[in-house]
Amino acid sequence: MEAVPQLLEHLRRETGKVIVGQGEFRDQCLVALLCQGHALLEGVPGVAKTLVVKALSRLLRLRFQRVQCTSDLMPADITGTNVLNMASGEFQFHEGPVFADLLLVDEVNRMPPKTQAGLLECMEERQVTIDGRGRPLSPEFTVFATQNPVEFEGTYPLPEAQLDRFLLKIRVGYPGADDEVELLKRVQAGFDARELAPAGLEPVEPGLLRRARQEVRDVQVEQALYSYIVQVVRRTRDWQALSLGASPRAAVGLMAVAKAMAALDARDYLIPDDVKAAAPPVLRHRLVLRPEADLEGLTPDQVVRDVVNSVEVPR
């Protein structure tokens, strides 16, 4: 296990030049990239969601695009469209922002359902269909979609089928008091989050991300841990507080993320603690609480913790 620890150390060092705190958020974004899955970022405005993704794109040499969602956003606004060239009399395809490596979809729940469906095809199939012709997206195509947890007016909540396409739901909280003090000092010294070039971010060596992904895939999983992962997922399907449990896709995602957690810890084998660490971000958005549980103040994170604690840990 060499590439993953090297990549993690490099990203932590370089992102520290432009980001104060938010270490867990940054590491979970790296997990999404290592697993080649999409992530839903939930947090209030101004907690460095965009900055983290932009910094990662620079460090990993990935093309970055950003879409600000509004209620009148059309599918062609993100996928692209054929435009008539008046000089040649032929239609030419103009690529939309999905033709990038990292796509930040800001306030995804403000996107109307028709456009959400267009994004869903991009996420699942890694291609877009324009006028009956499929156009492949980048092999690195990854969506980081943000949503505000406290503002619901004028929004279109994502349906369960689309939420299930996100490998992770990452909660982004406020930084600590010391981190906010350090942030003010950096701004006073001239730091501007809109200009990353002066920070002198050093990209990783070419091929390091590819090697790190292979190391994650090669993490060994014992037979008992297959059963442990399946039991955790299946337990959600008959849990009293839930009206909808996790799907088989969730089990696949849970194993993938747990393997990435092991790799970040410089191990080439899985342990139960990796599954426990992976369970909240993988499962929290795939569970639907019963109305009475919601009224009692239960949260998906509490239910995930209770479910994991109820499953016997393999020895």
DSSP 41: E
The pLDDT profile of the chain, 315 residues, written as one tens digit per residue, is 789 999 999 999 999 998 888 889 999 999 999 999 999 999 888 888 989 999 999 999 999 999 999 888 998 899 888 888 877 878 888 888 999 999 999 988 888 888 888 888 888 888 888 777 888 999 999 999 998 877 666 577 787 878 888 999 999 989 899 999 999 999 998 888 888 888 888 999 989 999 999 999 999 999 999 999 999 999 999 999 988 889 999 999 999 999 999 999 999 999 999 999 999 999 999 999 999 988 888 899 999 999 999 999 987
- DSSP H or E stretch at residue 242: strand 242-244
Q: Report CA torsion sign: 267, 269, 273, 277.
A: positive
Say if CB 151 and CB 111 are below 8 A apart.
Answer: no
Pairing type for strands 242-244 and 64-68 reads unpaired
Rounded alpha-carbon distances, angstroms, from residue 313 to 25, 234, 268, 269: 27, 15, 20, 16
CA atoms of 104 and 146, how far apart (whole Å): 8
In 90-175, DSSP assigns E strands to 90-95, 102-106, 127-130, 133-136, 142-147, 168-171
Tokens of 27: 């590491």
Tokens of 267: 């191990």
- Report all structural domains of the chain as residue ranges with CATH numbers, in order of start: 3-190 (3.40.50.300), 219-310 (1.10.8.80)
φ, ψ for residue 271, nearest 5 deg: -130, 160
Place of tokens 């499962």: 283
